[in-house]
Chains A and B, each alone.
Chain A
Amino acid sequence: MNILSMFVLVPVLTIIGILFGKELKHTRTIAAIGMSVQVILAGILIYMFVAERKAGNVEEMIFIKDFVWFKALNFHYTVGVDGISVAMLALTSIIIFTGVFTSWEVGDLHKEFFISLIILATGVFGFFISIDLFTMFLFYEVAVIPMYLLIGIWGSGKKEYSAMKLTLMLMAGSALLVVGLLGIYFNSAPEGGPLTMNILEIAKVKIPLDVQKFLFPFLFIGFGVLGALFPFHTWSPDGHASAPTAVSMLHAGVLMKLGGYGAFRVAMYLLPDAALELGWIFLILTGISVVYGAFGAIMQKDLKYINAYSSVSHCGLILFGLLMMNKTAMNGAIIQMISHGIMTALFFALIGMIYGRTHTRMIHEMGGLMKVIPFLGVAYVIGGLASLGLPGLSGFVAEMMIFVGSFQHPDLFHRVLTIFAISAIVITAVYILRVVGILLLGPIKNDHYLELKDAKWWERLSIVTLLLFIALIGLFPYYITELIGVSLDPIVGKFLMIN
């Protein structure tokens, strides 16, 4: 069995296992075991991948397994990974692992909750291992639809509205994707021969420029909707705010990265000429995302909304870095994906835990929490510092690389945009420090807060795991750039070739 297919098989087996569980105790244990296996698998995969690269395997994708699926149309089930997808798989496994632990005490319909959550994760894992566009798209849709149930049933606030909005907007995004993918498929063999959906083979083909220019907006916006590209981000604050904790974590942490990953792996990699020609339009939009998201976060009073808007800002930065189309910035963008994934998962986990204790998410109703729940408080501060880009933590590395990369462009347009986007860092500092000040410091506002208990063991486990990775990425970014750097070469090479 190919190690990559295991990433899909293990969640499916876990789901089957959960079906047999009766009580919450059983289902959560089975879910936890299954997702621990995923983390171990991710570890093994990284080890095998590094060993393979060290042994001199310079193929673009390794561990490739190929099965013909629909023979008549030449659709395959093809899996394979490069450094970037390995990193994304590791990220996903960490976040779903911690997500299971933060939902340790989910009340109503626990069985259905864990099943939907793991279906969602299955889609994400499948998406990152696929290198056939058809399989990729299939997994993408698998990841989107359980969100409706997860938010609709277990969410809070105006959950029905948010769930419907999120699902429909993402599905409309995939409407764009269908057109783009089919367009690529029917242009994948200009000299005759069988049409293909295989990314590696399409990358060798030169698709005519006018076709590329027609298809690029479909694909980039289609993935951009999921990556919270302005003005298609409006599902994100509502969706995140209404979702239950683990779902917010998984969604902001991983699912939004699907957008960024798809945007460069499909839209930019397969349609490089169009990316160069039309990239500037989207660069402006992502610049707006970055600054707008930060301003949005300042204005909010609800903790989840603050974090949701900050996600819009940070995910905008991912697309911003990718569209700079040079190695440093793209490298930064990938690290930003991982860093933001872990950071935002940490935030949502903490917010969920605080909400579970105080029963409010309005920052003005809280205060002095550091004195009663110091563990959660300290974790919140560390997360906040990472988010505003303190050196030594993951956020700094990512943002630094993105901005250094974008400043390498000598022309006025890129310079102005870069400065514009950098201003978001200052705004980020404002809203993070403001929240920390109001929420954690100062006098205790409500007497019943004195009785609050600090984190339980499962909560500590998920928080510590996430904090660990934030620090690791911040202190040793070298290993990650090493992992993903080589894999960027073929993609960056496409843009250099054209220049």
Chain B
Amino acid sequence: MQLENFLLMRHELLLIVIALLALVFELFFDKKNKQIVIPIMLSLFAVYTIVGFFPHTTGEIFGGMFVSQDVHVLIKNILNVGVLIILIQSVAWLKKEENEDRITEFFLLLFSTLIGMFFMISAGDFLMFYIGLELATIPLAALAAFDRIKRHSAEAGIKLILSSALSSGILLFGISIFYGISGSIYFTDIAVGITTATPLFALGLIFFFAGMAFKLSLVPFHLWTADVYEGAPISITSYLSVISKGAVIFAFTMILYKVFFQFAGLWQNVVYVLSVLTMTVGNLFALRQNNLKRFLAFSSIAQAGFLMLGLISADNLGSSSIIYFVLIYIFSNLGAFGVVAAISNVTNKENMSDYKGLYRTNPKYSLIMMLALFSLAGIPPVAGFFGKFFLFTAAAKGGYYWLVFIAVLNATISLYYYLLVVKAMFVDKNENPIATIKSDGYTKLGLAICTIGIFLIGLYSPVFDLIQIIVDKF
């Protein structure tokens, strides 16, 4: 193995370096000026994000355990951009007094989970995949419990770690069955080694699906989501709903398409059922929420259901529309979470009823929130419309017209509850609305990036074309 082969792991190695640097800085800054770590880490991560876009080589190392093709690099870059926005948005929260002594920990844990996700995405065998997944999950539980003084936060951490431990167990059982049938854990070997759909294989597939469905919070494996989202700090909630979900869906798609492609007929039925259940249940529960974090939790469950529409088509259009949708989803959801965070940081208010009359006092926040919600609902000209429409196109290509119909009806239901927030902000009158909020430059920067993304990614078509080209190469 040559040394330059290590460059294939460029993203992972750089991240490890940054994480270690965070530890070093911890030694040098005393308690008073620890906040300097924040801009340093931010700029390091920003530079690293840009470096990620530099030309790269493709190939595999460690005998095929680690694969890096164009599509992997693309996905990692997309996730990096998302994490960068989240980091920018969390500054105001990190600067609060109660977090003063734990700034380094935040970065360290966050980067660890990201490294885990990257290894999971690039995995060439189930072992690497599983290790990556665990590395991604365990620090997340610590992050969810980050607000030490809040009981809800601790509860979120426990719930996350218990449910993910359970789902990991189920997942491992599925993987062990695949190993038992094919005698290998390498993706390429399994794809060749399993030729007939025996009942044992079907059992393994079901366990594998259940494990992944837990991570993606698909119905009926979604029960942990709302409590965890509500309890965790907003930055972590947005990380969970956007980055974590995005990474898992990418890995899931690649395994299904690469390893189990020949059994598409088998798992497409499962995806069909999961998709309908997830969209419908997610939407129905979102209708009744008042806490905006819970509300966005259920909405993100429903969005995962829409993602299944891309998955079911089992071709390149499916995977490109999934990548595209996740990219748009990152910007839209982070836009919504950014507004919730900005308001919650100053006022501690997170309920929809508190938002009544917000437009009169905070017009810009209300507008961004509205755009983000419209993007989530799939209303043109913002990007969400394009993302959803292409997912529908992918499903229709496979002939799943009724599924598309159910999905669009669900999009209409989702529009109802998104409009409830819009109504609270714009239409409802309120005697004492939330006062005009002053936020720092970081919050504004984060929201500005989201807004630009929400407009640009949809209307500027080369983004989708580029994704399609990269996926076609894969």
Instruction: Please give the residue numbers on chain A whose beta carbons come within 8 Å of chain B beta carbons, in ascending order.
Output: 69-73, 134, 138-139, 141-142, 145, 148-149, 152-153, 159-160, 163-164, 167-168, 171-172, 174-176, 178-179, 182-183, 185-186, 214, 218
B98 within 8 A of partner (CB): no
A134 to B396, CA, bound (A): 15
Asked whether B416 is an interface residue with its Cβ less than 8 Å from the other chain, the reply is: yes
Checking A164, A174, A182 against B396 with a beta-carbon cut-off of 8 angstroms, the contacting residue is A182
User: Chain B residues near A148 (CB, 8 Å)?
Assistant: 419, 422
Q: Any chain A CB within 8 A of the CB of B5?
A: no
B320 touches A72 (CB 8 A): yes
B419 & A178 in contact (Cβ 8 Å cutoff): no
Q: How far is the CB of A476 from chain B (nearest CB, A)?
A: 38
Interface of A is mostly: helix
Would you give the 0/1 interface string for B409-448, flagging 1 where the beta carbon is closer than 8 Å to chain A?
1011001100100110011000000000000000000000
User: Taking the nearest CB of chain A, how far is it from the CB of B208, in angstroms?
Assistant: 30
Q: How far is the CA of A183 from the CA of B397 in the complex (A)?
A: 9
B415 contacts A183, C-beta separation under 8 Å:
no
- B364-409 interface (Cβ within 8 A of A): 374, 379-381, 385, 389-390, 392-393, 396-397, 401, 404-405, 408-409
Give A215's nearest chain B residue, CB to CB: B401
* Number of residues on chain B facing chain A (CB within 8 A): 32
* B window 289-347: CB within 8 A of A: 317, 320
Contacts of A179 in B (CB 8 A): 396, 401, 404-405, 408
Contact B426 A153 (CB under 8 A): yes
Q: Smallest CB–CB gap between B466 and chain A, Å?
A: 9
Cα(A141)–Cα(B415), bound, Å: 13
Q: Does B2 contact A (CB under 8 A)?
A: no
Whether the pair B381, A149 counts as a contact (CB closer than 8 A) is no
- B461 interface residue per 8 A CB criterion: yes
Q: How far is the CA of A142 from the CA of B382 in the complex (A)?
A: 10
Given the interface contacts A167-B415, A168-B415, A182-B396, does A175 sit within 8 Å of B408 by beta carbon? yes
Contacts of A186 in B (CB 8 A): 396-397
Q: Does B468 contact A (CB under 8 A)?
A: yes
Q: Is B464 an interface residue (CB 8 A)?
A: yes
Closest-by-CB residue of A relative to B471 is A72
* B465 at interface, CB cutoff 8 A: yes
Question: What are 11 pairs between A and B in contact, CB < 8 Å?
Answer: A71-B468, A141-B379, A152-B426, A168-B416, A172-B409, A172-B412, A175-B412, A178-B392, A179-B405, A182-B393, A185-B396
| Chain A residues whose C-beta falls within 8 Å of the C-beta of B317 in the assembled complex | 72-73
Which chain B residues lie closer than 8 Å to A71 at the CB level?
461, 465, 468
- Give Cα distance in the complex from A172 to B381, angstroms: 18
Contact partner, A175, options B379, B396, B409, B426, Cβ 8 Å:
B409
A149 touches which one: B380, B405, B412, B426 (CB < 8 A)?
Answer: B426
Find chain B residues with CB under 8 A from A145 CB.
374, 379
- Rounded to whole Å, the gap between the CB of A368 and the closest CB of chain B is 37
Chain B residues within 8 Å of A183, by CB:
396, 401
Bound-state CA distance A68–B153 (Å) is 50
| Alpha-carbon separation in the docked complex, A148 to B425 (Å) | 13
**Residues of chain B at the chain A interface (Cβ within 8 Å):** 317, 320, 374, 379-381, 385, 389-390, 392-393, 396-397, 401, 404-405, 408-409, 411-412, 415-416, 419, 422-423, 426-427, 461, 464-465, 468-469
Residues of chain B contacted by A178 (CB below 8 angstroms): 389, 392, 404-405, 408
**Chain A residues with CB under 8 A of B409:** 172, 175
CB distance A138 to B416 under 8 Å? no
Bound Cα distance A150, B381 (Å) = 18
B380 pairs with A141, CB closer than 8 A: yes
User: Given A175-B411, A175-B412, A182-B404, A72 and B465 touching (CB < 8 A)?
Assistant: yes
Pick the contact of B405 from A152, A159, A168, A175 — CB < 8 Å?
A175
Option from B385, B415, B422, B465 in Cβ contact (under 8 Å) with A138: B385
Residues of A within 8 A of B423 (CB): 152, 160, 164
| A-side contacts of B320, CB under 8 Å | 72
**Cβ-closest chain B residue relative to A151:** B427
Q: Is the CB of A164 within 8 A of B416?
A: yes
By beta carbon, the residue of chain A nearest B388 is A178
Please provide the 8 A-B residue pairs with the shortest distance between their CB atoms, ordered closest to farther.
A175-B408, A72-B468, A182-B396, A152-B427, A171-B412, A138-B380, A178-B408, A70-B461
- Bound-state CA distance A218–B409 (Å) is 13
Q: Is the CB of A167 within 8 A of B427?
A: no
Tell me the minimal C-beta distance from A123 to chain B in angstroms.
Answer: 9
- The answer to whether A167 and B419 touch across the interface, beta carbons within 8 angstroms, is yes
Q: In the complex, A168→B411 CA distance in Å?
A: 10
**Chain B residues whose CB sits within 8 angstroms of the CB of A159 once the complex forms:** 427
Is B464 touching A72 in the complex (CB atoms < 8 A)? yes
Closest to B406 in A: A175
Give chain A residues whose Cβ lies under 8 Å from the Cβ of B419: 148, 164, 167
Partner of B427, one of A138, A153, A171, A185: A153
